[in-house]
Structure 1
Amino acid sequence: MYSYKIGISAQEHDAFVTNHSQANLLQSSAWAKIKDNWANERIGFYQDSQLVATASILIKPLPLGFSMLYIPRGPIMDYSQPDLVRFVLTSLKSFAKKKRALFVKFDPLLFLKQGLVGQESPDQAETLAAIDSLSKAGAVWVGRTQLLDETIQPRFQANIYREDFSLEQLSKSTRQAIRTARNKGIEIQFGQTELLDDFSKLMKKTEARKSISLRGKDYYQKLLATYPDQSYITLSSLNLEERLKELEKQVDKLEKEAQKFTDKTKPGKIENNRQESKRLAEEISFLEEKIQAGAKKVPLAASLVLEYGGTSENIYAGMDEDYRRYQPAIITWYETAQHAFERQARWQNMGGIENNLDGGLYHFKSKFNPRIEEFVGEFNLPTSPLYYLSNLAYSLRKKLRSKH
């Protein structure tokens, strides 16, 4: 016999979620503290007094006393049990009506497809069956949306799994980029609030470069404070003065080599010397300009990671475009994932990518041998006669916001 309880403890909820195959950060009880502009409630669903499903629900107030309920990457349950699915949705509908909710939106951690980059895979039969069960229980599937910003959470993501990740498993060009970054003197640090100022500055530079609006230092501080033992910042930096000294040594070596050239020296060797000298001169000029402007040890790129239940999420990442020649993003993302697996994560999620698998996010994240995961996407559970009108207004508002 099924029953449900409103207001289960954070401890009971998290114990269930972290031991479930669908464990994810957005269903952690602490995530509601991050989204504190929404109200929150946790519901537990029981079979003969045993917890078999949970949902951490975000509640958004709407005009005229109405509300909207959202369950990010949940509910957490066995979707292969139609009776359980039906009971959970019926219970959510009852709860939603008490909150005067127009509808409940949820996007469960179910994959339609999952495979390595370039790997063709069929739709997962169990997910298609779950869509059928949810539909029969009254949920409306939004379907296979085409654009990245059509859903609250990305419907496609690039996720690195421990067993697929090592330097040897990366492409030759990616390995070379990592070696080049190291050879140029890029340093990697892992930390928390002591790296926050540099991280925030890099995020501001990223906002300016992409003409987008992200978050501020206070928000990043909140993430670290909410997950104090389950978070870290990866920061790559470069000591400009040390790099300059190294380049001057290389120039001296090239000059001494050129002095030994004779009429018998191969033209190719002379040309390589000339081209390398030119490259070094350009970089030296760049560094001298930055040093004269007061730069010494500069942050190049960074990422902020949150962990939960053996999972690892790369939440935000930024870079200083001025230092693109050092390719800091590649080594930063590589070291971020490596650190996640050293901390015993099962996977390290690099976040959303374009739904058509062709764009800047997809091509960059594909460098790290991730699995490309297509989520089932969003469902709406109507709970009011005003659902269809309100959902139309919601969809129009989301389209308008995505254009700005």
Structure 2
Amino acid sequence: MYSYKIGISSEEHDEFVKKSSQTNLLQSSDWAKIKDNWGNERLGVYKDQELVAVASILIQPLPLGFTMLYIPRGPIMDYQNKDLVAYMLQSIKTFAKSKRAVFAKFDPSLFLRKGLIGQEVEDQEVSVAIIQFLEKFGVEWVGRTKDMGETIQPRFQANIYKEYFTEEQLSKSTKQAIRTARNKGVEVVFGGPELLDEFAALMKKTEARKGIHLRGKDYYEKLLTTYAGQSYITLSRINLSQRLTSLENQLEKNLLEVSRFNEKTKPGKIDNNRQEKERLEEEIQFLKQALDAGKETVSLSGTLTLEYGGTSENVYAGMDENFRRYQPAILTWYETAQHAFDRGADWQNMGGIENDLDGGLYHFKSKFNPMIEEFVGEFNLPTSLLYPLVNKAYQLRKKLRNKQ
């Protein structure tokens, strides 16, 4: 016999979520504190007084006193238990009517496909069957959307699993980029709020470079404080004076080598020396200009990571494009993941990628040997006769926002 309860405690909710194979940061009770411009309720389903399903529900106000419900990466339950799924959906409908919700949108942590890059994968039969059952219950499946902006959460993500992540397992080019960054004096530090100013500045530079609007320092601080003890910033830095001294020493050796050349010196050696001299002089000039601008130690790249129930999410990342030559992003992302595993995470999610697996996000994140995971995507559960009209307006608004 099933029963449901609205307003279960955050402790009871989180304990259930963390024990589930569908554990996800977005179903943590604290995520609703981050999305505080939405309302929130926690719904629990019980069987004989034992908690068997949960949903942290965000509530978005709509015009004329109506609302929309959204359950990010949930509900969390056994989707192969049809009686339980049917009861949960009916419970959501009942709750929706109490909130004058036109529909409830949800995108559970279920995958259609997942596999390492290069692996041949097929649709998971269990997930296909779940979709078909949900549709029979009157739920509308949004389908295999083709554009990343068509869904609230990315339908594809690059997720690094601990067992597939060592430096030796990375591609030759990725390992070379990591060595390059280290050899050039890039250092990585981990911390919290004390690194916020540097991280926020990097995010502003990323915002300007990409021509997009990102969050500000207050929001990043909110993430760190809400998930205190379960969050960290990774920053890569370089000391310009130390790097300059190293280059000047290298140039001195280069010039000394030139003084030893004679008519027997091979042309190839002379040419290599000349190219090295030009490279050293160009970088020396670059560093002197940065030092003249008052910079000493510079932040190059950064990430902000949140942890929850053995999982780790790289939620924001930024870089100073002017220092791209030092390969800071690859080293920073590598160290971010390694730090996550050192802290006990089972996987480190690098976030969304393009649905066609052919874009800048995909090509960068593929360097870290991730599992490519395709979620089943979004479902809409109509809870009002106004649903067809409101959903059309919702889709139009989303298209307009994506064009901006």
TM-score range, shorter chain: over 0.9
Match of 2:4 in 1: 4
Equivalent in the alignment of 2:321? 321
Q: In structure 1, what is the Cα distance between the partners aligned to 2:390 and 2:174?
A: 47
Q: What is the aligned partner in structure 2 of residue 119 from structure 1? A: 119
Return the alpha-carbon distance in structure 1 between the equivalents of residues 293 and 219 of structure 2.
30
Match of 1:196 in 2: 196
Aligned counterparts of 2:275 and 2:44: Cα–Cα separation in 1: 67
CA-CA distance at 1:119 after TM superposition = 1.7
Q: Secondary structure of the equivalent of 1:344?
A: coil
Residue 49 of structure 1 corresponds to: 49
Deviation at 1:206, TM superposition (A): 0.2
- The 3-state SS of whatever aligns with 2:92 is helix
Cα drift, residue 126 of structure 1:
0.9
How far is the alpha carbon of 1:39 from its aligned partner? 0.5
**1:186 has 2:186 as partner:** yes
Deviations 1:207-251 (A, max 9, x none): 000000010000000000000010000000110011000000000
**C-alpha contact 1:85 1:133 (8 A) present in aligned 2:** no
Task: Determine the C-alpha separation between the residues in 2 that align with 1:51 and 1:266.
Answer: 78
2:227 aligned with 1:227, yes or no? yes
Task: Map 1:391-402; keep pairs closer than 5 Å.
Answer: 391-402=391-402
Amino acid at match of 1:361: L
How far residue 118 of structure 1 moved from its aligned partner, in angstroms, is: 2.2
One-letter code aligned to 1:112: L
1: CA distance, partners of 2:303 / 2:118 = 26
**SS of the counterpart of 2:58?**
strand
- The superposition leaves residues 162-213 of structure 1 with CA deviations (integer Å, 9 ceiling, x where unpaired) of 0010000000000000000000000100000010000000000000000000
Aligned residue in 1 for 2:211 = 211
For residues 32-58 of structure 1, give each alpha carbon's deviation from its aligned partner in whole angstroms, at most 9, with x where no partner exists. 000000000000001111111000000
- The residue aligned with 2:263 is 263
Q: State the distance in 1 between where 2:134 and 2:10 align.
A: 26
Deviation at 1:305, TM superposition (A): 0.1
Counterpart CA distance in 2 for 1:19 and 1:155 is: 23
Give the aligned partner of residue 298 of structure 1.
298
Matched, 1:354 2:358: no
Residues 1:159 and 2:168 aligned together: no
Runs of 4+ in 1 over 3 A off after TM superposition: none
Structure 1 residues 138-163: Cα deviation after superposition (integer angstroms, max 9, x where no partner): 21100000000000000000000000
Q: Which amino acid counterpart does residue 153 of structure 2 have in structure 1?
A: Q
For 1:88 and 1:262, the matched residues in 2 are separated by 84
CA distance, structure 2, for counterparts of residue 390 and residue 272 of structure 1: 67
SS of match in other structure, 2:21: coil
Aligned residue identity for 1:348: Q
Q: Check if 1:138 corresponds to 2:138.
A: yes
| Cα separation, 2, equivalents of 1:242 and 1:61 | 55
SS of 2:349's equivalent?
strand
User: Within 5 A, what are the aligned runs for 1:240-255?
Assistant: 240-255=240-255
Counterparts of 1:52 and 1:44, CA distance in 2: 8
| TM norm structure 1 | 0.99
Per-residue deviation, 1:256: 1.0
Alignment partner, residue 31 of structure 2: 31
Within 2, Cα distance between the matches of 1:170 and 1:258? 38
The one-letter code sitting in structure 1 at the alignment partner of 2:256 is K
Q: How many residues align?
A: 404
Partner of 2:390: 390
Alpha-carbon distance in structure 2 between the residues aligned to 1:173 and 1:272: 22
Whole-Å separation in 2 of the counterparts to 1:120 and 1:375: 17
Distance in 2, Cα, partners of 1:229 & 1:154: 26
- What SS does the corresponding residue of 2:221 show, helix, strand or coil? helix
Letter paired with 1:312 = S
The CA distance in 2 between the partners of 1:91 and 1:266, in whole Å, is 82
Measured after TM superposition, the shift of residue 262 of structure 1 is 1.5
Displacement, 1:61?
0.9
Task: Name the SS for the 1:103 alignment partner.
Answer: strand
Is 1:172 equivalent to 2:172 in the alignment?
yes
Corresponding residue number in structure 1 for 2:288: 288
Q: Counterpart of 1:339 in 2: which secondary structure?
A: helix
Query: Could you state the TM-score of these two structures normalised by the residue count of structure 2?
Result: 0.99
For 2:269 and 2:329, the matched residues in 1 are separated by 32
Cα distance in 1 for partners of 2:234, 2:138 equals 44
Q: Secondary structure at the match of 1:215?
A: coil
Q: What is aligned with 1:17?
A: 17
Asked if structure 2 preserves the Cα contact closer than 8 Å seen for 1:85 and 1:137, the reply is no
Q: How far apart in 2 are the matches of 1:347 and 1:268?
A: 48
Q: Distance in 1 between matches of 2:113 and 2:311?
A: 19
Inter-partner Cα distance in structure 1 for 2:302 and 2:256: 39
Helix, strand or coil for the counterpart of 1:180? helix
- What is the one-letter code of the residue matched to 1:386? L
Segments of structure 2 that go 5 or more residues without pairing to the other structure are none
Cα distance per residue 1:339-369 (max 9 Å; x no partner): 0000110100000000000000000000000
Contact 1:238–1:299 (Cα < 8 Å) also in 2: yes
CA apart distance, 1:258: 1.4
Offset of residue 260 of structure 1: 1.1
Give the corresponding residue for 1:339: 339
- Distance between the aligned counterparts of 1:25 and 1:311, measured in 2? 8
Q: For structure 1, which segment, 255-264 or 84-93, has the greater mean C-alpha deviation from structure 2 after superposition?
A: 255-264
Equivalent-residue separation in structure 1 for 2:334 and 2:219 (angstroms): 25
Please state if 1:312 is matched with 2:312: yes
In structure 1, the residue matched to 2:103 is: 103
Amino acid at match of 2:284: I
Amino acid at match of 2:47: Q
2: CA distance between counterparts of 1:364 and 1:352? 12
